[in-house]
Structure 1
Amino acid sequence: MSRMMIQAAVTMDQLQHKLDLIGNNMANSQTTGYKSREAEFSSLLFQQINNVSGDPENEGNRLTPEGIRVGSGAKLGTANLDFTSGTITETGRALDTALRGDNYFYQIQDTENDGEVIRYTRDGSFHLSPVNDTEDVMLTTSDGNPVLGQTGPIVMEDGFDSIDIQANGQIMVGRGDQTEVVGELDIVEVIRPQLLEATGDNNFQLPDLAELGFEMDEIIQATDPTIDVIQSNALERSNVDVSKQMTDLITAQRSYQFNAQTISIGDEMKGLINQLR
């Protein structure tokens, strides 16, 4: 196979990853708090820099500058997360909340890891789940993961008449003529959101900060108690721009077709060469 065909085949494989990324964005365009992914491509030529063994016998017939070999197509360099806020929609549901601001996140416990791992999410659609065989209920996500408050999971005695989540994160319940604060959401601000890694189910996690040379307080900070970061009875919608995704989809499909045509033309050229006498 010629290098032209190899480059086209490699690029087509990477374009398929971009098409999958666009499809995932469009499928989650109605998912609460979903953050879109943007694909960035890079040339594989940079991977050929300084890859020569250094054997002087290999230098005799060099046609490219020293330290550089012919590239082999393009690859999907990164899939960046767009953390800009989505549209906030009123729902009228007491346990629905939306965060005001791009870098604020709820903290939840990952029950699949015995609650030892903290995840971050923008999905403020909360639920109440019973706690074992007690009369208590716990504030959880739709997947059943506990939502963290200032002192841990938010657990309250069942049987209240009303519940309301305040703009400062306090959770108020009413029993008859009495109201009480049963917990306060532990909302954090992620200073460097680009470090967050998607873990599925609309959740994110931090990488190993020690390997990156960061301290936890350089990345995660408590929110200012004087700032109201919550809008109650509302949800943040996905920030996916469907029209932009459709444009990117058409562009990626055209690029895929052009590279496929390159392989077809290369095959026809080889066929014509083989027919020469």
Structure 2
Amino acid sequence: MLNSMITASNTMNQVQKQLDIIGHNIANVDTQGFKRTNTTFGELVRQQYDNQSDLNKEVGRSTDFGIRQGVGAQLMQNVVFSQGTIKKTERNLDFAFTKPGQFLKVEADGQTRYTRSGALYLSAEANGKLGLVNASGQRILDENNQPILLNENASSITISANGTLTALDGNGQPAGTVNLGIVQSNKSQSLVQTNGNLYTLLNPNDQTAVTDLTGAARGQISVEQGALEMSNVDVSKEMTDMLVSQRAYQFNAKSITIGDQMLGLINSVR
């Protein structure tokens, strides 16, 4: 009974983590560029209980004597980077990635982070320039990992399909041209989610995880101005997974209750 209760307890802990992830997915159903996390379960290493000696092994038996008992389930998770739906906004500072695996570079806490959210804004800088930032006020980086600055009179902004931003002033004169810092992910699971709908490298020293799309490689970039990529969360699937997880949690909780009742019966025997 103790082993079955431990197994159920281990599994309940993992199912609770799955419910937390599902709730996180649902909460971000309207977050631009958000990517859902998929969950699966794997079996933990089994324990072997020998209940007979090998000397008494039956002739013709194809398996060893003993009981192989599991000790619970292990939750495995991975971010799904499939393309989200495109929502038209007709706002010049909005753009959407139309190819999966491409990310915009953002400076957060002095480190380079990555995002799929293309909602950009202009922020006044102390030097009289206009800085390009995201909704959280974090600086957008160019292809050389430098913060993007535009002339203070920049008004009309165009973002081309290859991620080149061009600004004009009120008289139609150039007010700044810059290439947005965009990378291509080569190993999707080497990116991990952080706060603010940003991603960071699982191993910062892995130089092959992402490729900077610069020079001729900028032809691989595909963005659409005046639109935003929405999350790839399927609410109906998340709700179905939540119901299944709740039933699994209830089943394992019931196993612990039954095991406790049986131990109580054993202890009451005189």
Range of TM-score over shorter length: 0.7 to 0.9
> What letter is aligned with 1:222?
D
Counterpart of 1:190 in structure 2 is: 185
Structure 1 residue corresponding to 2:212, chosen from 213, 219, 222: 222
Question: Any residues of structure 2 matched to 1:50-61 within 5 Å, and which?
Answer: none
Instruction: Give the distance between the partners of 2:106 and 2:249, measured in 1 at CA.
Output: 40
The equivalent of 1:92 in structure 2 is: 90
- The match for 2:197 is 202
Match of 2:5 in 1: 5
In the alignment, is residue 274 of structure 1 matched against residue 267 of structure 2?
A: yes
Alpha-carbon separation, structure 1, partners of 2:140 and 2:64? 57
User: Which residue matches 2:116?
Assistant: 122
Give the deviation of 1:164 after TM superposition: 2.1
Aligned equivalent of 2:60? none
Deviation at residue 87 of structure 1 after TM alignment = 0.2
SS of the aligned residue for 2:260 comes to helix
Are the counterparts in 2 of residues 135 and 158 from structure 1 also a CA contact under 8 Å? yes
- How do 1:1-277 and structure 2 match up within 5 A? 2-45=2-45, 70-76=69-75, 78-110=76-108, 112=109, 115=110, 117-132=111-126, 134-151=127-144, 152-175=146-169, 176-208=171-203, 210=205, 214=206, 216=207, 218-223=208-213, 224-277=217-270
**Counterparts of 1:144 and 1:61 in 2: how far apart (Å)?**
68
User: Deviation of residue 167 (structure 1)?
Assistant: 1.6
- Does the CA contact (< 8 Å) of 1:154 and 1:182 recur in 2? no
TM-fit CA distance, 1:100: 1.3
Sequence identity of aligned pairs in percent? Answer: 38
Give the TM-score normalised by the residue count of structure 1: 0.84
1:186: Cα distance to partner? 1.6
* Structure 1 residue aligned with 2:57: none
What is the aligned partner in structure 1 of residue 59 from structure 2?
A: none
Structure 2 portions without partners, runs of 5+: 55-62
Instruction: Write the distance in 1 (CA, Å) between the matches of 2:13 and 2:202.
Output: 28
* 2:81 match: secondary structure: coil
Q: 1:8 Cα deviation (Å)?
A: 0.8
Instruction: From the superposition, tell whether residues 174 and 62 of structure 1 become closer, same or farther in structure 2 (CA, over 3 Å).
Output: farther
- Residue type of the alignment partner of 1:7: T
Gaps of 5+ in 1: 50-57
